[in-house]
Structure 1
Amino acid sequence: MAAIKPPMYSVAIMPIWVGTAVAYAQTQHLDTIIFSTFLGAAILILAWENLSNDVYDSETGIDINKHHSLVNLTGNKPLVFWLGNLCLIFGLLGIFTISWWQQDLTVIGIILLCCGLGYIYQGPPFRLGYKGLGEILCFFAFGPLACSAAYYSQTQTASISSLVASIVVGVATSLILFCSHFHQVKDDLAAGKLSPIVRLGTLRGAQVLTVCTISIYALTAIFVILGFFPIWTLLSWGSLPFAVKLCRHVQENHDKPDKVSNCKFIAVAVHFWCCSLFGLGFLLGF
């Protein structure tokens, strides 16, 4: 279960949920077949990224102490690699089906760009995640690109409100990846991976985490005041208890790998509840 990471799949679901919620708020129309197809495809594409990341990490030796790596568990790297590719093929087939229904290649084009960012994050020869750029790639892939694709799949138009909403989703998603580095500084250094926590140190990383977490709620309030979001999106502040728990936990344990290792799962809870309530706010505020 630790290898499959079921909670992490909210990362794939939330951009589609929020983008679709904004579309419904603006058009009062929801195509449930497209929404369901997009959700299934997004989950499969994220499965590809998780599986392929295990494969590429096994090649650098960074996962030597990661007992829940699927490559380490199975001892069969080619199997994991091709299972990942199969997930990618079926995921892209779902997105292509949406484009075929609409006779419009925009959505498949955006998602192919997302996949490209996912590959250069960890795949050779790029491995930009090893250069500390993973959070930036994550922000754009799961924020502006994925949310815009979900919005476009419902409306076949672009939207400033959807783009602005995607900033909140992108930051919340990037926090999960950021938190995943705190407990593996030694392994990252040994493999030559310059993650943000390796560059900043765990103490400063904990401070950056707090600022970025606060920014999610501050941005929501600012965009409500500016009229981009309905006031109901402030429901996302209901996730604040998880955000406070995350920041306190990391501040207290940032330099204790065994204790801080679960912080990414608290970040998943922040992401899930914040984005769920955020999207609900659009539905209630149309």
Structure 2
Amino acid sequence: MPEPEVVASRYARRALWKAAIKWPMYAVAVMPVLLAAGWRLGRGELVRPDQLLLFLLAAVLLLAWENLANDVFDADTGVDAQGKPHSVVNLTGRRDRVASLANGCLLLGLALMALVAWRSTPAVLALVLACCGLGYLYQGPPFRLSYRGLGEPLCWLAFGPLATAAGLLALGPAGARAIPWKQAIELGAGPALATTLVLFCSHFHQVEEDSVHGKRSPVVRLGTARAASLVPWFVALVLAFEWAPVLAGQWPLTALFGVVGLPPARALIGLLRAHHAQPEKIGGSKFLALRFQALNGLGLAFGLALGPWLLP
């Protein structure tokens, strides 16, 4: 029978791997195309299920590349050496293998996205390549724009207009030429801001480590108190972007279903207001932000899709 210390070590390592895989984070990858599907269904259009499934799988693979590549790049700068035991590089001790796995996810994800584009329009692949380019600018050398506090705008652009436009084209009729920027911005602005909030909240518990290694995240620049005071404005702007089309009569009232994300948003605001400067108490803040992002986005997508069925 294993010694208690051995059992405890196994459970601890299993918990670290669970944190490293970050499976809840993949809600941010799939949200743009789910919103696109809800929008098209709400307009009485057919959604091609094969395209939807291919896009979802490709999006998950591309986010896996982003996460693994970020672990590799952070290992190079040393920012994860002490404060992130669940880094895949730290867990395996094999930067080379993690880099190879990341590149494999990238190639397979792009191959699947190329298939989606071939079955719809080449613009899909171009938009997704732009998203990947922003992902590399975020953390990859020599740019490392996240170290300059520019990660949040890049996040909004990638998961907002670009990914949403790609989703709208992928699920639409084959051969479409014009990129639906207006619809993509209108549909993606609020949910992408919720995704950006997840990134913003991931900085609170590692301010000291980021400062030491020259990573000037928005929370480092503003300080935890001022940064925490911005979180209610993030939530308010997400809802404002989503409610404006409803008030203008462009979306059905059921689009307000996105409010199901408010309970975790309120919990997040309260947590950061009370403990913004206590890293040991706010490590889970990004997961509250993620719960808000996922529930809000799913509520909006279902609300758009169900509008014609539930409203006369």
Q: TM-score, normalised by structure 2?
A: 0.89
* 8 Å contact from structure 1 (residues 22, 162) kept in 2: no
Residue 135 of structure 2: aligned partner: 118
2:266 corresponds to 1:244: yes
2:73 is matched with 56
Equivalence for 1:178: 200
- Confirm or deny that 1:261 pairs with 2:261: no
> AA paired with 1:88?
L
Displacement of 1:163 in angstroms is 2.2
- For residues 23-34 of structure 1, what are the structure 2 equivalents within 5 Å? 23-34=40-51
Aligned to 1:139: 156
2:224 and 2:232 mapped to 1: Cα distance? 12
Aligned to 2:21, the other structure's residue is in SS state coil
Runs of 4 or more consecutive aligned structure 1 residues displaced over 6 Å after TM superposition:
none
The answer to whether residue 179 in structure 2 is matched with residue 162 in structure 1 is: no
Q: Which residue of 1 aligns with 2:98?
A: 80
Q: Tell me the secondary structure at the aligned position of residue 3 of structure 1.
A: helix
CA distance in 1, matches of 2:37, 2:305: 10
Aligned pair partner of 2:36 in 19, 22, 26: 19
Q: Find out whether 1:153 has 2:175 as its counterpart.
A: no
Q: Secondary structure at the match of 1:285?
A: helix
Alignment partner of 1:95 out of 83, 92, 113: 113
Superimposed CA distance per residue, residues 31-80 of structure 1 (whole angstroms, 9 cap, x where no aligned partner): 00000000000000000000000000001110011100000000000000
**Secondary structure of 1:63 counterpart:** coil
Alpha-carbon distance in 2 for matches of 1:239, 1:146: 21
> Which structure 1 residue ranges, 5 or more long, are not aligned?
none
Q: In structure 2, what is the Cα distance between the partners aligned to 1:138 and 1:239?
A: 20
2:25 alignment partner in structure 1 = 8
Alignment partner of 2:85: what SS? Answer: coil
With 17-26 and 181-190 compared, the bigger mean Cα shift is at 17-26
RMSD: 1.1
For 2:53, the equivalent position in structure 1 comes to 36
**Alpha-carbon offset, residue 219 of structure 1:** 2.4
| 1:227-264 deviation per Cα after TM superposition (whole angstroms, max 9, x unaligned) | 23221110111211111111111111100000011100
- Computing the radius of gyration over CA atoms, which structure comes out larger, 1 or 2? 2
1:285 aligned residue: 307
Asked if the contact 1:161–1:229 (Cα under 8 Å) also holds between the matched residues in 2, the reply is: no
Aligned letter for 1:46? L
Q: How many residues align?
A: 285
Q: Which runs of 5+ in 2 are unaligned?
A: 1-17
Residue 27 of structure 1 deviates from its aligned partner by 4.4
Instruction: Select between 93-102 and 55-64 the one with higher mean Cα deviation.
Output: 93-102
Q: What TM-score do the two structures reach when normalised by structure 1?
A: 0.97
Query: Among residues 235, 238, 261, which one is paired with 2:257 in the alignment?
Result: 235
Are the counterparts in 2 of residues 144 and 163 from structure 1 also a CA contact under 8 Å?
yes
Deviation at 1:24, TM superposition (A): 2.4
The one-letter amino acid paired with 2:285 is C
> Are the counterparts in 2 of residues 135 and 174 from structure 1 also a CA contact under 8 Å?
yes
> Deviations for 1:157-203, whole angstroms, at most 9, x for unmatched residues?
52633320100111010000000000101100011010000010000
Write out aligned runs for 1:214-229 (5 A).
214-229=236-251
